[in-house]
Amino acid sequence: MEIQSVKQRFGIIGNSPLLIRALEIAVHVAPTNISVLINGESGVGKENIPKIIHHLSSRKHGPYIAVNCGAIPEGTIDSELFGHEKGSFTGAHDARKGYFEEANEGTIFLDEVAELPHSTQVRLLRVLETGEFIRVGSSKVQKTNVRVVAATNENFERAIQSGKFREDLFYRLNQVPIAMPPLRERGNDVVLLFKKFAADFSEKYRVPSLQLTPESEQMLHQYHWPGNVRQLKNITEQMSLLEHERWVYPETLSAYLPQANLGQNGLIKQNHSNQDFSEREILYKVLFDMRNDITDLKKLVLGIIQNGVNIGENPENAAIYQRIFSPENTSSVYAEIHDNPVITVNPTGYHPAPIVMNHPVQHEIVEETLSLSDTEKEMIRKALQKHKNRRRNAAKELGISERTLYRKIKEYDLGK
């Protein structure tokens, strides 16, 4: 059976080679009766593999029972799995079949199998080797024909060394191992899964579907995902319900991600790198604009020196003067030219004062008090005003990313 049809049939999303390999092994061993042990972190989707194995096997018309071994108390686990006789313990008012008896001719999936107590491990080993079991409180041996698929997120090597798990049972379960990859190792699958979950919750809650910005997609790739697919689904559902903005920006996404795991896969380091790069972007633009201002200033001064005219008489010069010497850009300007008269101007109004020609001096001094942060803040404020707070358009005009613009808006408190 083709893997693509398997994915469609069982609702599996992803194209990761590690995921495809796990599915290929499941499809290959499904027609046999061999035991399978699935290993993987919590939340990776281990429960899909036994369903594939069961429904593609000759047992597909038999029962399929999934048991969470870690959720059943130690005192009742034997009764749940193998059944009990009436009066075998307090509260056993009637005889009861266990899961292995109910699943005869079918498949039983033992999730978190490493949580089984030692006494139950012995019983399970006997079922796997001989197909025999005994109900709690009985001496009668019964037979069952069950295929066992087990799963765990435990490290079996450590569990065996510590004596928590029987080594012989491990080898009996681990006839064919299948490793389910964690979400952080599945590449672009994390984005595909987010989009699928967003579409599902959009339909469920009747809201527009969430959309990811490129920066948010990158953030999904870099996050550690300790809870794997289950965590991603949970976060997508929360945002679908709680967020009014349908575009998911990194600032929005980070509010739903536990900070303790932001740095485990280099995300904090990467963010710092991106932050430095973004600040360089806006700093370069400020410097380029300053260079243009200086160039225009030189033209203005040269024209005044050569022509000896009032700045206000030339509209082009007046416009340059107003832009460069407005109070919000600089507090003072002094100009002194080599072998030329000193030029004195009034930088506080639109109409410049008449030029005063003084005696020549020997040196040039240019003193300007400029704050890069103030200039940067003013540029952002003007861009937002120009585009009526459309941040994407403002970021485009400033020549910076939307992510940088959002961060700068918060830094300079321009969001009000």
Q: Does domain 3-181 have CATH number 3.40.50.720?
A: no
Distance CA 396, CA 393 (A): 5
Give the number of other Cβ atoms within 10 Å of residue 415's Cβ. Answer: 10
Could you tell me the pLDDT band of residue 181, with boundaries at 50, 70 and 90? Answer: very high
Mean pLDDT of 140-148: 96
| Token couple for 242 | 């709680």
Identify the architecture of domain 373-411 in CATH: Orthogonal Bundle (1.10)
Q: Per mean pLDDT, which range of 104-113, 153-162, 217-226, 333-342 is the poorest?
A: 333-342
Ranking 20-34, 225-239, 302-316 by mean pLDDT, the lowest is 302-316
Q: What is the pLDDT of residues 228-277, one digit of tens each?
A: 999 999 999 999 999 999 999 999 999 999 875 555 444 444 444 444 44
Q: Where are the domains of the chain?
A: 3-181, 185-265, 276-360, 373-411
d(CA 235, CA 253): 9
The pLDDT of residue 368 is 42
Give the pLDDT band of residue 132 (cuts 50, 70, 90): very high
Q: Are 136 and 120 in contact (CB under 8 A)?
A: no
Task: Report whether pLDDT(69) > 70.
Answer: yes
Predicted confidence at residue 202, as pLDDT, reads: 96
- Is the predicted pLDDT of residue 225 greater than 60, yes or no? yes
The CATH code for residues 185-265 is: 1.10.8.60
* Rounded Cα distance, 108 and 121, in Å: 15
Q: Report pTM.
A: 0.62
The answer to whether 209 and 246 are in contact (CB under 8 A) is yes
The model's confidence at residue 392, banded by pLDDT at 50, 70 and 90, is confident
